[in-house]
A and B are shown apart, each in its own frame.
Chain A
Amino acid sequence: MEYVHVCRYALIAGPLLAAACSVLSVFLVLRGMAMISEGVAHAGVGGMGVALLIGLVLPFMDTQGGWFVVTGIFCTITALVIGYVSRGKHVSEDSAIGIFLVASVSLGVCALYFRRFLHGSAGTPPSLEDILFGGSIASANLEDVYALIALVACVFGIVFSMYKAFVYTTLDEEMARINGVPVRMINVLLLLMVSVAISLGARMVGLFMISALIIIPGATARLMSRSFGRVLASSLVVGVGGVVGSLFMAVLFAMKPGLDRLPPGPIIVLTLFAIFMVVWAYRQVFKVKFRSNVAG
């Protein structure tokens, strides 16, 4: 129980992060944009590297908050540039994502080593391992919780106040545009929310793992229901439930000597993956048909 108290912030922050990511997941998966979250997450590595270098020049930015701001801006700009570069016929979206993904990771790794070269380990910047896979479960703090409360409020507030616009754009972007939906604004808002969620969640889950929270809940929910509202609800159940379960497992592991540094990120991802495979296998084996009205 004492160790649970030590990890209490992670046990609150995790479900909050999962709730925000699960909602975003439905819109990205249904639009076939799941891989953009992978690109944005890897851009976060570059963003973190840039943040650490900026922190050397501007010491007031060399804090958790400062790193988050720079990383978030870097992720958003990268996502917008990927969209711009791939809008023509000559560069496909998956090529653009691949190119910017590896370039960003490389930028981040080089920046991190330059920081160490220039300033040693002063300022206790996160290690490359922490950046990629997340810190230990005990490293989550109250600042993370406040930031994630704000994230959930923004995501839920924006999506549910403009619910029809988000659904219409996801279902049929061209018709939505014809009917006056501000499609560009909706797309930018979606990208912005994904970038902020990734930047905030990276501390806990790691930049290499966070995209799983934005892909798996929506992909699993799609297998579970054929009504949009129920897909959203299912995504929340899968995402939040999966994260809560895996965090308790992470606490149990962390109490074992030698495993206390095991980051929760990989445990969360493996748990969500297991849920997805169980749902998928159930559908294949039992050939589930969803309840429908009699055709008229």
Chain B
Amino acid sequence: MDGMLEKLKILADSAKYDVSCSSSGVGRKNNGKIGSGAAEGICHTWSADGRCISLLKVLFTNRCVYDCEYCVNRRSADTERASFEPEELAKLTIEFYRRNYIEGLFLSSAVEVSPDHTAERILHCLRLLRREYGFAGYIHAKIIPGVSQELLYAIGLEADRLSVNIEMPTSKSLALFAPQKKPKQIFSPMRQITNTLIERKALKGPGTMFKGQDLNSTLNYLTPGQIQLAVSSEQIKENQNMDTGPARAMVPARRGKETFAPAGQTTQMIIGAGGETDRQILTTTENLYHTFKMKRVYYSAYIPVVSSPILPDALTAPPLGREHRLYQADWLLRFYGFQANEILDDENPNLDPDLDPKVTWALRHLDQFPVEVNKAPMDHLLRIPGVGAISAQRITRQRKIAAVKYEDLKKMGVVLKRARHFLTCSGKYYGEKNFMPEAIKHQILEINDGIQISMFNNDQNLLPRAGTEGKRVALHG
């Protein structure tokens, strides 16, 4: 074990900026010697920054041939370098797992020599874990752009979840900050993952976004030419459901017991390094959901780890408040039936730091309110600020056998502070009498005043606490 302590330090240190933490999406009994998958995901501890630790998140190596501006491991950075041996890392994973420190392994890597060289080493390690150690726990593997299709496929057979980082919300900032990474190189593995999942009839899609739709039809097949970071909604529509030729079968679909990335794919992007608006970010997010049907898009508030003339300077506090609002908006996309162009438009290109995105949307659309909780269909209930997925379910369940009274709402988990202005119970309205956006906004903010000010004047102390929307489902990836 000599040197492992040091290696782990270096290689975990470089991996910690990766945001994805979830261990959800695959329920599996122990079909090997050790390990199982919990569909809802399990957090094992929380570090001092309040982020959960679920997987052993490490880089395979931090020796990199790339020189991305924002990255701690860029070639030109003066930092300690180390690499794991596949055997070492497999053993460490098992030993941590046995002690219930972790839910599985999150393996990423810098690009040593070439993408394929690195991917081969990763694959070797994953095979060791799965086959020699009989590890049946969770594995999240990061795919490095530029890796060959055969290797990606082989890694997907071992891993539960795959992710390719899109890095930046627009191709413009990507060209500026990561000149060696090309959009095409990033999209091509994403496309392959989605197509392979379709071939295996295993594509599930994000949240409840595609509920009731069959994603595993040839209509959802992606062809190389059609993917770009579209900005208009027309382009989104073009991007989905194109019935074009064969992207099928770079690798023939194999049936049987083996699974390919059963927990789907995710990606992440950095927020606040380039000059994007929230609208551009959300539109890109929506595109990714529509096109690749990925499970999640993660945001990472830019933290100045390296100084560079083109990046925000080193004293800039990470935009945690913005990241928080973006996650709330992301939840609206995945679980609440919202579209990006509803949440933000030309007049409002950025999310309101003072109010959550559902409230801001509702205030702009007061004509759709108040909603009668005893009559409104599920998708309308979900649009009431302060009503989440669980409380909406409880409302629809109870009203089948007994009317929902105003006093019941609180017990059901509805946040009345916000909700009371937007609903009626058996015809009675309990909110602000002056039913105008400004008046309601004033009411909501007055209640929140103390918290709001401390939350946003001092970004350092911001709680990355997802609102009513985010909190309950946060573990579910």
Query: A and B: partners?
Result: no
Chain A positions within 8 Å of B, measured between CB atoms, are none
